[in-house]
Amino acid sequence: MRHFQYSFVLAFVAICAIFVNLAFRLRITSQWRAFLKVDAAILVIYLSWDAWAIHKKNWRFDSHQILNTTLWGGLPVEEVLFFIIVPLMTILTYLALNKIVTRLKNGGSR
């Protein structure tokens, strides 16, 4: 069960992202292309850095807490998902907070 710890955290964050999207009616699906373009840059930069750090033995992932399914450069699949899910949740949080602030400025009306 320990092998799923990183996956469980990612699943929790993904479920929160879905909830925030639905609860605040953010309609993020209309902007998937823009998100994917920006996230592709994030993936290239940070996954390259991760792979380099793993190769240099400056960084490692606890094999007892991951699924041990690795991709390019020895990166666990959970790490790739992290750099997709967390930026998405960050954007959704920003959009939700922006919507709340806008409502408050408008006197609480929708």
Predicted confidence (pLDDT) per residue in 47-99, tens digit: 999 999 989 989 888 888 888 888 877 888 898 899 999 998 888 888 899 98
Question: pLDDT category, 108, cuts 50, 70, 90?
Answer: low
Q: What is the pLDDT of residues 5-45, one digit of tens each?
A: 888 989 998 898 888 888 888 877 778 888 889 899 989 99
Among 85, 93, 94, which residue's Cα sits nearest to residue 6?
A: 85
Query: Using an 8 Å Cβ cutoff, are 19 and 28 in contact?
Result: no
Identify the burial level of 17 via C-beta atoms within 10 angstroms of its C-beta, where 0-12 means exposed, 13-18 middle and 19 or more buried.
Answer: buried
Nearest to 83 by CA among 26, 30, 33, 45: 45
**pLDDT in the model for residue 15:** 92
The answer to whether residues 6 and 66 touch, using CB atoms and an 8 Å cutoff, is yes
Considering the entire predicted model, what is its pTM?
Answer: 0.79
